[in-house]
Amino acid sequence: MKKPLLRYSLILLFILPVSFVQAASQHTITGFIYDSISGYGIPNQKVYFLYEDSTSTSLDSVITAQGGIYSFDTLLPDSGQNTLKVFTFGCDNYKYEQTISNPGALEFAFFTICFLTPTPNCEASFFPNQDSLYPLRVYFSNTSTGLINTYLWDFGDSTYSTELNPEHTYLQPGSYQVSLSNGNTMNPLYTCSVIQTVVISPMCILAGQILANQFPIQAQAKVILYRVISSDWIAIDTSYVDSQGVYYFYQIPQGNYSLRAIPTDPELAKHYFPTYFHQALTWHDAALISLHDSTYTNSFELKPKPEPMGGTGALTGHIVYTNGTSTVAAPDIELMVFSTSQTGIDYNFSSADGSYLIGGLLQGNYMYYAELPGNTASYFIYFTIGNPAFDTVTVNLFIQNNTIGIEDINKAVSMLNVYPNPAPERVTIELQSDRIIRGRLSISDFTGSVIQTEDILLINGRNRIEKDLSGFSRGLYFINVDLGKSGRICRRIIH
């Protein structure tokens, strides 16, 4: 009998070890570290990243870049509860920390901390500049130091401003208590303030009549106003007389001045010299006006010319500006002929190319003199009209490349250089300032007529301003820097 088949199989189970790899992905944490006082980003600040889950812990760090920015990339598991702590240390080793649970692909962490570097002191100060053309307008320059980013001005007349460097127009002259309060948006306790008395000085009117033979002239003439500072004469304005011979100058600051009346009517010019205040023919003999209040009585007579000689002799030539190395034609310069006893005989103005001609002279000895206020010397030069009856003379007016008319009350700004001089097409003006200050730069001709003007803002240090002169006529010009009560400086240039 056959044995039944054994229907059982021996099954051997082999259990092989299986390794499960947990999935992970990249995460980026970025942000900024700010200083609580200044609000600026802090570079080179260490930022820590502590990762914790149920089985492991890791600690990494990065250093902030310029501006306080940082970025950190890491691989984190995709499952489970993950926690990432981001922290840094500030003043007195105080720990600033943020916790990010289950971080996403991109996370942000921003910190505003008490920085370890000592905070600079807040010191309030400001500088007012009264506009010389619009005397009720004042430019205020905030010269405070410290980590400030808020400003509150009280102008003392119930008006206010939150600008850094505001301008303000008062309704009338007077004394005003102006206050400035500085602060920082990140720290309400970081403040400083100052109160200063600002005096808005009154401007004056200077007026009078131009007379000829004791009667007001009824012909055309212009009056040039000169600001006189020490031995410097600076033409600042020109007024044309009305039908009654009256001239007016408005909004003139207090100081020393003089006047020069020039006949522009050909018939009047035949009989009268250009004349300075109180009947002087040269600037050396002119009288000064000390201006403190408005005055309307500064009248003076034109100096009469003698009858023509009727001779056939003449003085002719050119007038040029020179700085010692180069020359430029000098137009519109008055050349006068005097007798040897210094009595005025005749005059003429140089033409556009600097040429001049004074005729009708008899044979004999004379003196000539070229008039450029504040520049030409007081002595006369002899010449002789003989045979031939013409004497040709080139008159050199030496112009120094130096600053004139300095009224630098607070020595805030100095004019370092003006170049090139002579300036063929463009001129560069270099100014040195010890503060932020606003003012006005103008270019005027030698009669005081303003050709070009612009408001300027000077920074602390060296300032460079370039001007285009290509559209100007050839001649002598003044570069004026008006800083209001802070001072005025001027430089002659030849174009």
What would the pLDDT profile of 380-400 be if each residue is shown by its tens digit? 888 888 866 666 766 776 665
Contacts of 394 (CB under 8 A, 6+ apart): 317, 318, 319, 320
Is-contact 335 376, C-beta < 8 A?
A: no
DSSP annotation of 375: T
Q: Dihedral angle at the C-alpha atoms of 211, 217, 221, 223, nearest 10 degrees?
A: 30
DSSP annotation of 296: -
* pLDDT the model gives residue 49: 92
Is-contact 32 68, C-beta < 8 A?
A: yes
Q: Dihedral angle at the C-alpha atoms of 361, 364, 370, 373, nearest 10 degrees?
A: -100
Select 313-398's CATH number: 2.60.40.10, 1.10.10.10, 3.40.50.300, 3.30.750.24.
2.60.40.10
Is-contact 412 437, C-beta < 8 A?
A: yes
Structure tokens at 299: 């009248």
Residue 485, phi then psi, degrees to nearest 5: -70, -10
* DSSP helix/strand/coil, 92: helix
* pLDDT the model gives residue 208: 96
- Spatial separation of the C-alpha atoms in residues 65 and 41, rounded to whole Å: 9
> In 3D, which of 224, 299, 217, 300 has the Cα closest to residue 262?
224
Select 126-200's CATH number: 1.20.140.10, 2.60.40.10, 2.40.110.10, 1.10.287.130.
2.60.40.10
DSSP element (H, E) containing 267: helix 266-271
* pLDDT the model gives residue 391: 64
Which amino acid, residue 105? A
For 106-150, the pLDDT digits (tens) are: 899 999 888 755 567 888 988 888 776 677 888 898 888 888 889
Is there a cis peptide before residue 388, judged by omega within 30 degrees of 0? yes
Contacts of 79 (CB under 8 A, 6+ apart): 22, 23
Contacts of 133 (CB under 8 A, 6+ apart): 251, 440, 482
User: Which segments within 170-286 are labelled E, that is strand?
Assistant: 174-184, 187-200, 204-212, 215-216, 221-229, 232-240, 246-252, 255-263, 275-276
Task: Report how far Cα 25 is from the mean position of its chain's Cα atoms.
Answer: 59
Burial of 328 (0-12, 13-18, 19+ CB in 10 A): buried
Strand partners, 467: 427
Is-contact 81 103, C-beta < 8 A?
A: no
Q: Which residues of the chain have pLDDT under 70?
A: 1-22, 79-80, 92, 116-119, 132-133, 378-379, 387-391, 393-394, 397-412, 416, 484-487
Is-contact 288 256, C-beta < 8 A?
A: yes
Domains of the chain: which residue ranges?
Answer: 24-113, 126-200, 204-301, 313-398, 403-494
Is-contact 229 256, C-beta < 8 A?
A: yes
* pLDDT the model gives residue 400: 57
* pLDDT the model gives residue 11: 39
**What count of other Cβ atoms lies within 10 Å of the Cβ of residue 251?**
14
* pLDDT the model gives residue 340: 92
* pLDDT the model gives residue 390: 66
Select 403-494's CATH number: 3.40.1010.10, 3.40.1080.10, 2.60.40.150, 3.40.190.10.
2.60.40.150
> In 3D, which of 40, 84, 44 has the Cα closest to residue 62?
44
Which amino acid, residue 37? I
**What count of other Cβ atoms lies within 10 Å of the Cβ of residue 378?**
9
β pairing state of 24-35 and 106-108: parallel
Which amino acid, residue 271? H
Is-contact 385 391, C-beta < 8 A?
A: yes
Long-range pairs, 8-16, Cβ under 8 A, ≥24 = none
Is-contact 205 253, C-beta < 8 A?
A: no
Residue 383, phi then psi, degrees to nearest 5: -150, 165
Asked if 204-301 and 313-398 have one fold, the answer is yes
CATH number 3.40.50.150 given to 24-113: no
* pLDDT the model gives residue 399: 60
What is the CATH code for 204-301? 2.60.40.1120
